[in-house]
């Protein structure tokens, strides 16, 4: 089985034969079902819109790449800072695939988010951006009051652009 979509690996080479509606059904079948918080629902809606913009060839290519049982050999990226972002709630990636990734990249940083589903970078963008800023910062920066503009309030602010 492929690590993504729980499909037999031999089926992954046949995506180019399938019509677009069937490929879209495979992808949509892995999106969260049932009630989700509004930000996750917005992320899913956005991805469904993006999915609709792909033609059959593009979709077949992307699914084929996602379902290939391959990885980047760790010794080829030993000098790069690798961060694995993971969520504790439901996602399309199986627990076994996540554990295998952790074993393959033992020196990678791990960014764990409580929620985020399949698209944490969309529905939890503030948390993802904060993690990126903190983890890539070489030294802490102090923020002083001079970096902030005064807050206007009252009738003088009516008609001002935000």
**Tens-place pLDDT, residues 25-49:** 988 887 877 888 899 999 999 999 9
Q: Are residues 62 and 27 in the same domain?
A: yes
| Boundaries of domain holding 100 | 74-135
89-116: pLDDT as tens digits: 888 888 888 898 888 888 888 888 998 8
Look at residue 42 and tell me if it is in a domain.
yes
Residues in the chain: 162
Residue pair 95/88 in contact (Cβ under 8 Å)? The answer is: no
Assess if residue 161 is contained within a domain. Answer: no
Whether 91 and 123 share a structural domain: yes
Q: Please tell me whether residues 82 and 51 are part of one structural domain.
A: no
Taking alpha carbons only, the member of 117, 104, 49 closest to residue 77 is: 104
In a domain, 149, yes or no: no
Dihedrals φ, ψ of 97, to 5°? -65, -40
Global pTM exceeds 0.75: no
* 59/84 same-domain check: no
Question: Domains in the chain: how many in total?
Answer: 2
d(CA 64, CA 98): 19
In the structure encoding, which two tokens stand for residue 18, read together? 């399938």
């Amino acid at each position: 089985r492929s690590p993504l979509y729980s499909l037999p690996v031999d089926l992954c080479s046949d995506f180019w034969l399938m019509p677009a509606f069937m490929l879209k059904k495979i992808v949509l079948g892995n999106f969260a079902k049932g009630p989700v918080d509004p930000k996750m629902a917005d992320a899913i809606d956005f991805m469904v819109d993006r999915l609709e913009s792909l033609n059959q060839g593009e979709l077949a290519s992307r699914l084929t790449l996602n379902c290939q049982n391959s990885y980047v050999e760790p010794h080829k990226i030993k000098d790069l800072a690798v961060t694995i972002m993971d969520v504790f709630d439901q996602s399309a990636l199986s627990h076994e695939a996540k554990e295998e990734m952790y074993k393959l990249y033992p020196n990678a940083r791990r960014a764990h988010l409580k929620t985020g589903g399949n698209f944490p970078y969309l529905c939890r963008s503030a948390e993802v951006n904060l993690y990126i800023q903190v983890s890539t910062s070489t030294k802490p920066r102090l923020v002083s009051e001079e970096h902030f503009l005064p807050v206007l309030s009252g009738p003088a602010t009516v008609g001002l652009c935000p």
